[in-house]
Chain A
Amino acid sequence: MDNISIAATLRSPKISFDFTHNKFNISGESYPENVSEFYSPLIKEMEAYLSSVVNADIEFCFELIYFNSSTAKILLELFDMLDEAAHRGNRVDITWTYEVDDDNLKELGQEFGADLQHARFSMQEITL
């Protein structure tokens, strides 16, 4: 499985999916013109990877500064997929960062994290 690296644009995040080392990162801003066009290939790759991986230490870091509601739907889908992989015996660590004083991203992190049953979840405040 080829690693995925996509540079950030004004409206789409930087993507780093390192399948070799089980490390994943989404950072920046996300309100692309067509959310499903941007994320569908990534979700598909993640699905294929997660369905095949066993007994792995998976780290997924969400470092978003801003995302719209269509992106939120994708993020929640990723959370659910990762939780399912943890349920099947992988060790999954999800980190959610939010900018100091960004009550909204902090609250969304708490809400998304609260629904996880199996993955470990931590939040990190950052200063830009």
Chain B
Amino acid sequence: MASLADDLYQLKSQFDRDNLLFCYSGFFTQEVLEGIGVALRAKLAVEQTERRVAKNLFSVFVEQVQNVVRYSAEKDEGDSEQGGETVLRYGILLVGRRAGGYFVSCGNLVRDEDVERLRGELAIIETLSREELMIQYKQALRRPPPPGCKGANVGFLDIARLAGGGVEFDFTQVREGYSFFAMNALM
């Protein structure tokens, strides 16, 4: 019979085999982003990661997490401690080592109706060269944000631009009306 320690150790061992620095799964808040960001920078400093790699990794991490915070379709809505409304959005974040560098993977639920649009945007981004990514990035920065967009809507372009080892993305339908969106960036 499996024990508490066996189960948890098995999970941890799997993370170790995947060369994870850490994994976070659950709801993301601005404080989570801030806290993980501080921890991530501390870890990269301890490892004496080349500063440019560390900075790109941090940028990709921020853009990925902000995507979850803004757009994840899995959410809790209710009162905040301060008395206002709050929304907690769920996702999963992995940061680890791969192929002599690092990877940042992030995933969250999206509504099926958004899958084709996202897939289309990302498929185009995948084909762009570094120079083309910069041109697209600048054009996107100058475009007014589409309605309902909480950021500059240029996060994916920024991630692709900064991920020296490339980006990959994937979708899988998980239940009626909802798919799981995963993105991986290599540095």
Contacts and interface: CB of A to CB of B under 8 A. Distances in A.
Contacts of B158: 68-69, 72
A73 B154 contact: yes
Nearest to A34: B150
B121 interface: no
Interface residues of B, number: 25
Given A76-B138, A107-B134, A111-B138, A69 B52 contact: no
A11 B62 CA distance: 11
B106 interface: no
**Dominant secondary structure of chain B at its interface with chain A:** helix
Interface string A1-28: 0000000001100000000000000000
A73 B38 CA distance: 24
Nearest to A105: B55
B154 A10 contact: no
Contacts of B62: 31, 68
B141 interface: yes
A122 interface: no
A51 interface: no
Give the contact-size bracket for chain A. 20 to 34
B96 interface: no
A73 B58 CA distance: 19
B151 A70 contact: yes
A63 B58 CA distance: 18
A112 to B, nearest CB: 8
A66 interface: yes
B66 interface: yes
Interface in A57-102: 66, 68-70, 72-73, 76, 99, 101-102
B56 A72 contact: no
A35 interface: yes
A11 to B, nearest CB: 6
A94 B30 CA distance: 32
Given A10-B34, A35-B151, A111-B134, A66 B55 contact: yes
Interface of A: 10-11, 31, 33, 35, 66, 68-70, 72-73, 76, 99, 101-104, 107, 111, 115
13 contacts: A11-B34, A33-B30, A66-B55, A66-B59, A68-B158, A69-B63, A69-B151, A69-B152, A72-B137, A72-B152, A76-B138, A99-B51, A101-B52
